[in-house]
Amino acid sequence: MSLSGALARLVAWRLAFVVPLLLVVTAAMFGLAKASPFDPVRQYLGERALVTSPEIREQIRANWGLDRPLAEQYLTWLGNLLTGDLGESRSFHRPVAEVIGERLGWTMLVTGAAIVLMLAAGLVLGTIAAYRQGSWADRLITGVAYASEAAPVFWIGLIAIWIFSVTLGWLPAGGLTDAGSATVTVGEVARHMILPVAVLAFSQSSWLVLFVRESVIGALREDFVIGARARGLRERTVLAGHALRSALLPFLTLLGARIPELVTGAILVESVFSWPGVAGTAVRAALAVDFPLLAALTLLATVAVVLGNLVADAAYVIADPRTRVLGVS
């Protein structure tokens, strides 16, 4: 099977799978919202709920459609979704599409930079640890990787703020720009995103470092690597061109499976550093029981996970011709 045919088959299979998946996720989301003990009207009113008459509460509930059966609410929301109407955010008092649209770019900026940094650092450190197996460098790298794997993301973020912002004063503690700034400049954004990007990349790179280390150690024992050394190839060529290349094939699939953890890490990092992204908005929506915004963010996160797995599988098909021969999709 040709490369284009294999990719087309993969995309078609994933598209056939994603529609029922989104229906199940959204239906389960409505069911959980119905079973929730939190009253969105009471959360919306706040302290005013104590002095608001029951008639006004019921009127608000009717305006939001909460007095209708659950199935009717779901079908109405689904129909509006198909027309591009995501509803009105109850916490921001603006259309959900506008709230997500103005924040999505900032989340993609931080997450994209963190992924690039995570891949670069993980591949380099994992390869060094494998090549220097048993040395002090290997013990240091693996020790830090195991420690960061066990540490919560928000704790790493708070430690980074205490060291680099409070103690040393090198970097800002959060936000998009300085407190007194009236405009958003590239320099200020770059300075403010250093800590969020570094913390997100550091918290998500430990599994990559450990995986690359074990894979490269196994690849260095393979016959084709021993043969490459016997032919007199330089050690750098053997390591990068043979051992690392072979060891990274399973990593492509594993990367797609780690997308949900990356989404969770982004939510915590944006909350700790007050980054104005979509992920941090999910926390505010959850605290305010802002269901229209939560529903859209859940749908967006599901689509991101599906697309991440699709990209990982497509990369595997491109990297390994055997999947095309076997018709694996």
Question: Is 195 within 8 Å of 164 (Cβ atoms)?
Answer: yes
Q: Is residue 203 part of a domain?
A: yes
Residue 323: predicted pLDDT: 61
CATH of the domain at 227: 1.10.3720.10
Provide DSSP, 54-82.
Answer: HHHHHHHHHHHTTTS-HHHHHHHHHHHHH
In a domain, 240, yes or no: yes
Q: What φ, ψ does residue 175 adopt, rounded to 5°?
A: 85, 180
pLDDT of 116-150, one tens digit each?
A: 888 888 888 888 888 888 889 889 999 998 888 88
Kindly report the average pLDDT of the chain as a whole number.
Answer: 80
Q: What is the pLDDT of residue 50?
A: 66
Q: Taking a C-beta distance cutoff of 8 angstroms, is the pair 10, 317 a contact?
A: yes
Asked if pLDDT for residue 291 goes beyond 80, the answer is: yes
Q: Please, which residues have CB within 8 angstroms of residue 80's CB and are 6 or more apart in sequence?
A: 86, 87
Task: Report yes or no on 33 lying in a domain.
Answer: no
Is it the case that residue 326 has pLDDT exceeding 60? no
Rounded Cα distance between 291 and 88, Å, is 10
Largest CA distance in the chain: 86
Residue 162 has pLDDT above 90, yes or no: yes
Give the tens place of pLDDT for each residue, 210-223. 888 888 887 777 77
Determine, yes or no, domain membership for 49.
no
- Report which listed range, 46-50, 129-133, 189-193, 252-256, is most confident: 189-193
Return the structure tokens found at 75: 């079908």
Query: Is there a domain that residue 325 lies in?
Result: no
| CB-count exposure of residue 70 (10 Å: 0-12, 13-18, 19+) | middle
Structural domain includes residue 41: no
Quote the number of domains for the chain.
Answer: 1
Q: Is the pLDDT of residue 26 over 80?
A: yes
Q: What pLDDT shows up at residue 174?
A: 81
Backbone conformation region of residue 241, classed left if phi is above 0, alpha if psi is from -120 to 50, else beta: alpha
Q: 169-191 burial by CB neighbour count: b if 16+ within 10 A, else e?
A: eebbbbebbeeeeeeeeeebeee
pLDDT tens, residue by residue, 90-112: 888 888 888 888 888 888 888 88
pLDDT at 158 over 80: yes
Domain that holds residue 251: 96-275
Residue 214, domain member (yes or no): yes
Q: What is the predicted pLDDT for the residue at 111?
A: 87
The answer to whether residue 16 is domain-embedded is no
User: Hey, how many other C-beta atoms are within 10 angstroms of the C-beta on 147?
Assistant: 11
pLDDT at 322: 63
pTM score, whole prediction = 0.78
